Amino acid sequence: MKIEGIRFIAFDLDGTLLDSVPDLADAADKTMQALGLPGVTEAQTQTWIGNGAETLIGRALSQSIELDPDLDPDLHQQALVMFNRFYREGGHKKTVLYPGVTATLETLHQAGIPMAIVTNKPSQFVPHILEEYGISQYFTDVIGGDTFPKKKPDPYALHWLMEKHCLSCSEMLMVGDSRNDVLAAQAASCYVVGLTYGYNYGLPISDSHPDRVLDQFSQLLDVVAIA
* Residues known to be catalytic: 12
List the beta bridge partners of residue 142: 117
Residue 100 Rama label (left phi>0; alpha psi -120 to 50; beta): left
Non-local CB neighbours of 152 within 8 Å, separated by 6+ positions: 12, 118, 120, 145, 178, 180, 181, 183, 184
